[in-house]
Amino acid sequence: MLVAPDETKERFVAETSCGGSDDPASGRGIRYLEWSYDPDPNDEQITVEYSYLLRQSDGTVSVVHDRHAGGLFPRQVWLDLLEEAGFTARSEVFNHSELEAGYELFIGTRRGGE
């Protein structure tokens, strides 16, 4: 089993990203902002806020907001849960040009060839 969490508690850094695109043929467009932060460093949860500006072909613009709660678990929790589920657990650093250096994957191997 391969688990690739976006973040672990040890490596989480609050961040923002933004972007968007336009469709010249229809006149429609979108812009977005994503903002992740940890409102309570003593728990295992982060908040991610999303805001979208949506332009319709008639030029009207609407705003949409969405909030997500996400888990933020220490690396040892990932390893312990894999072990509890019957796997031999290990982690490996996965280096890729599109990921921050040190990105960690969690790998579970079935015990005893079951």
Q: Render pLDDT for 36-92 as a digit per residue (tens, 0 to 9).
A: 999 999 999 999 999 999 999 999 999 999 999 999 999 999 999 999 999 999 999
pLDDT level of residue 113 (50, 70, 90 thresholds): low
Q: What is the mean pLDDT of the chain?
A: 94
Whole-model pTM: value is 0.78
| Cβ burial, residue 105 (10 Å; 0-12/13-18/19+) | middle
Report, as an integer, the average pLDDT of 7-11: 92
CA–CA gap between residue 47 and residue 37 (Å, rounded) = 6
